[in-house]
Amino acid sequence: MALVGSPRRQGNTVFAVSVATKELERRGLSCETVMLCDLPLSFYDVDTGQQTRVSAEEDVEALLDRVWAADGLILATPIYFCNVSAQMKAFMDRTNDRFMNEQWLTPKAVGLLAIGGHGGFTDTVEAMRRYLDFVAPSHPPVEVATGLADALGEARQSQEVSQAALAMASRMADILLS
């Protein structure tokens, strides 16, 4: 399963994820890609303490069930101010109940993908690693891909981005198929 934290449905991060998932599928693994920007990850009004949409809660819980059942997981985000996107952070925050109830994430392999135009790769990847330290205390193998792409569509022209995503997916496939 690939969770894409980009607010752009055709952005550079989405392109890099598509390279990775195509390689995983080429190797015989099925992949589901979820655009986090399409999900209502926050549905409580903090001022009133009331839930805003019951159906949204059910949709997100169904997604979390699929994520927690996945053999492989890719967390992909554009880099904003040396950190994950708001969409990825909202997803991470939304899993707090599972963490508090010791419902651990147990994939066989995890890919962390960060695409940015002005650096911040190390900090962004470390933010995702810290998240995994909390929710996946079994410490599954983690493969990392980063790439430099700023302007919309720039990743499509970058061999670096494609090669990094392809290499990450290939290493994940080796682990998942072993």
Q: Which residues contact 67 (CB under 8 A, 6 or more apart)?
A: 1, 3, 73, 105
Q: What is the mean pLDDT of the chain?
A: 92
- The confidence score (pLDDT) of residue 58 equals 77
- The confidence score (pLDDT) of residue 60 equals 85
Angle of helix 12-26 versus helix 159-177 axis, rounded to 10: 40
Judged by average pLDDT, the poorest of 15-24, 37-46, 112-121, 155-164 is 37-46
42-89 pLDDT, tens digit per residue, is 545 445 555 555 456 778 889 999 999 999 999 999 999 999 999 999
pLDDT at 96 over 90: yes
Q: What is the mean pLDDT of residues 23-38?
A: 96
Strand extents, DSSP E, the chain:
2-4, 33-35, 44-45, 50-51, 72-78, 109-116, 142-148
- The confidence score (pLDDT) of residue 45 equals 47
- The confidence score (pLDDT) of residue 41 equals 67
Q: What percent of the chain has pLDDT over 90?
A: 85
Q: Where residue 40 falls among pLDDT bands split at 50, 70, 90?
A: confident
Q: What is the mean pLDDT of residues 122-129?
A: 98
Question: CB 10: neighbour CB atoms within 10 A?
Answer: 10
CA-wise closest residue to 155 among 63, 44, 76: 76
Nearest 10 degrees: CA dihedral of 39, 41, 46, 49? 90
- The confidence score (pLDDT) of residue 18 equals 98
Q: Are 34 and 77 in contact (CB under 8 A)?
A: no
Judged by average pLDDT, the poorest of 93-97, 122-126, 142-146 is 93-97
